[in-house]
Amino acid sequence: MAKSSASDFIPGYEFSVNLDGFMYSFSRVTNLSSSTEIETIVEGGNNDSPVILRKPKRNPDFLLLERALHSTLTDMAFAFFTVGRKIDAITISVQKNGSTVRMFFATGGVIVEREFSPLDAVESTVLVQSLKIAHTGLTEVPLPFGL
């Protein structure tokens, strides 16, 4: 069995987000999760535990992507991500020491919210923009060790 070192648990990682084939840099990605809907049934007779059935998914999962506003060509392209726009493929790659250690994939995305941080002339803050994307479910892609 391989022995773990402390550096395996230190959050020294980087990530990239690919939306429909174009890579964008984000400072934060939240809601990396997927869910399913269930129904529980209690049978008559032997009631030691309920029967759990998986139902067809009716509600989407949501992914929240946040980034600071820059003055670059990428930001001009980012402006095309308007509310209601469909995103067919979302790929999130997590790297550590230059190697991809995790990869997540989602399909059937639709931008449901686009938000900017408050504008305050008194404060000296970074303008942050965020995208909330509804999707059909997040899948972690199995990777061979040390890819």
The CATH code of the domain at 11-140 is: 2.30.110.20
Distance CA 143, CA 147 (A): 7
Query: pTM to 2 decimals?
Result: 0.77
CA distances from 135 to 3, 32, 109, 110 (A): 38, 11, 4, 7
Query: Per-residue pLDDT for the chain (147 aa), expressed as one digit of tens each?
Result: 556 565 665 567 788 899 988 888 888 999 988 888 888 888 776 667 888 889 888 888 999 999 887 666 666 777 788 999 999 999 999 888 888 888 999 988 999 999 988 888 887 777 888 999 999 888 998 877 655
